[in-house]
Amino acid sequence: MLLERYISIVMIAFSLFFLVMSFQIENRAGDLIAPGSWPAGLMIIMLVLSIVLFIKTFSKKGNQVKTANEEAEDLANEEEKLVYPKKFFYLLGALIGYTLLLEYIGFIIDTVVFIFVLSLIFGIKNWTRGLLTGLFATAGAVVLFPILLNTPFPRGVGIFSTFSLLFY
């Protein structure tokens, strides 16, 4: 609990610093969404969540202050229960594969497959849910970035490039 307080304080200071820095980014075009809008939005979210974490550390039942050694032992015991080494290597392999294939097969197909594989790695037994998750997440990203914000995504090569032209 003491560790959570320290982490929340550090995160509050971090988000406040970068929030101030994001307001100092110059908006030359005069657009509503300036270059500093996205960092500012993310830092506001991070600040709110850090404050919530800080408040929650005081409102826990049995508000006992543990020593640093006791908290480290509890954390080590939790880590032993939560770590799945095979899943870590599967995740690492999926990330490497996603990164290597992104330029060749494009964002749309690569992201759908990547999210589907991640859903299987992390325990979604129903493969249709994993596939729908991948499709909806990719569709949301394509609508937001290439269409609304005019941010280019990798299209792929050959037939994959032609396929991506159907969407953006």
Give the pLDDT score at 152: 86
Kindly list the distances between the CA atom of residue 55 and the CA atoms of 7, 10, 104, in Å, as whole numbers in the listed order: 12, 14, 47
Structure-block tokens of residue 17: 């610093």
pLDDT averaged per 10 residues, the chain (length 168): 86 93 77 77 93 87 57 59 73 94 93 94 89 94 87 90 87
In the DSSP assignment, the letter for residue 167 is T
Structure-block tokens of residue 14: 């971090």
Give the pLDDT score at 17: 94
Q: Which residue has the tokens 């609304």?
A: 148
Give the pLDDT score at 9: 93
| 2, 37 Cβ separation under 8 angstroms | no
Q: What angle do CA 142, 154, 88 make, to 5 degrees?
A: 85
Does this model's pTM top 0.95? My answer is no
CA–CA dist 123, 165 (Å, integer) = 33
Strands (E), 108-164: none
Q: Which pLDDT tens digit goes with each residue over 45-76?
A: 999 999 999 999 888 655 555 565 666 666 65
| 111, 97 Cβ separation under 8 angstroms | no
